[in-house]
Structure 1
Amino acid sequence: MLNRVILIGRLTRDPELRYTPAGVAVTQFTLAVDRPFTGQGGEREADFIPVVTWRQLAETCANYLRKGRLTAVEGRIQVRNYENNEGKRVYVTEVIADNVRFLESNRDSGGGSGQREESTYNGGSSNSGGNRGNSGGYSRNNQDPFSDEGKPIDISDDDLPF
């Protein structure tokens, strides 16, 4: 069985950061993802998908994401339900993110220099009882990985997977 989703879209509003009674950070935001076709009037349609992040990833998203920012989200789909005040069962479908990539810097969204900057934060497991050592970390990538000016790459046969 597999439950994995990858989305790229723009935030519809600033993320909301809250804390559980146990002190665990949780952030909620909505991602507007364009559909691959246009509507009857020739206009682009979008889906508005709720996203939830936990712990350090939640705090990072709350600090760096803003309304309108282009963002990639990787995680799993979760469906939960509860009874509202009127006694009716309410179903909520949302993406629980464990990896968020900030695809625009402040300069890009403000009409800046045009140099693209990508920031990544890989959060720890979102379903664990505590924060069990993040496998990833926050990083900024501004260098061209292919800037070797055509020089051959020295790779040992031991490094090849076949």
Structure 2
Amino acid sequence: MNSVKLIGNVGRDISVKEFEGGRLVSFSLATNESYLNKNKEEVKNTHWHTIVAWGQLAQRCETLVEKGKMIVVEGKLNYRQYENKDKQLVRVAEVVAFKVEEAVKNQEANVS
């Protein structure tokens, strides 16, 4: 099963692209984690994820998603590649969302 659930803060305002077949939005999401190292010091890490949404969910994201807002994204991991203008192969990992909603404040504390 290919399933992912992320809770984090939007890193930038969404990008909207129109196609004949519909609308695509993309945005970055920052997730944070922390742990104690062997010296009992807290180490904090931030991971950045690219999120994409299509169709009606894309339209909903246009009103819900804004920079800095904490949201919950459910979707699947997608890997793709393309050749850029310099003829270099670019590999992309992204989360294709099927659900995006505003995070409840205590939701972040419940994630392990």
**TM-score w.r.t. length of structure 2:** 0.82
Q: Paired residue for 2:7?
A: 8
Tell me, yes or no, if the aligned pair for 1:10 and 1:33 is still in contact at 8 Å: yes
Unaligned runs of 5+ in 2: 106-112
Q: How many pairs are equivalent? A: 103
Tell me, yes or no, if the aligned pair for 2:72 and 2:100 is still in contact at 8 Å: yes
Q: Paired residue for 1:62?
A: 62
SS in 2 for 1:60: helix
Q: 1:38 to 1:52 in 2, by over 3 A?
A: farther
Partners of 1:55 and 1:70 lie apart in 2 by: 22
Partners of 1:95 and 1:23 lie apart in 2 by: 20
**C-alpha offsets along residues 58-88 of structure 1, whole Å, 9 cap, x if unaligned?**
0111122111111000000000001111211
Partners of 1:24 and 1:38 lie apart in 2 by: 46
Partners of 1:33 and 1:5 lie apart in 2 by: 13
Cα distance, 1:23 vs. partner? 4.8
**TM-score w.r.t. length of structure 1:** 0.58
Cα distance, 1:101 vs. partner? 1.3
- Normalized per residue, the structure richer in strand is 2
Cα distance, 1:47 vs. partner? 0.3
Partners of 2:75 and 2:36 lie apart in 1 by: 27
Q: List aligned pairs for 1:7-156, cutoff 5 A.
A: 7-20=6-19, 22-37=20-35, 42=42, 44-103=44-103
Partners of 1:66 and 1:102 lie apart in 2 by: 11
Partners of 2:18 and 2:36 lie apart in 1 by: 39
RMSD: 2.1
Unaligned runs of 5+ in 1: 105-115, 117-162
Partners of 1:25 and 1:100 lie apart in 2 by: 16
Q: Percent identity?
A: 31
- Tell me: higher relative CO, structure 1 or 2? Use CA pairs within 8 A at least 6 residues apart: 2
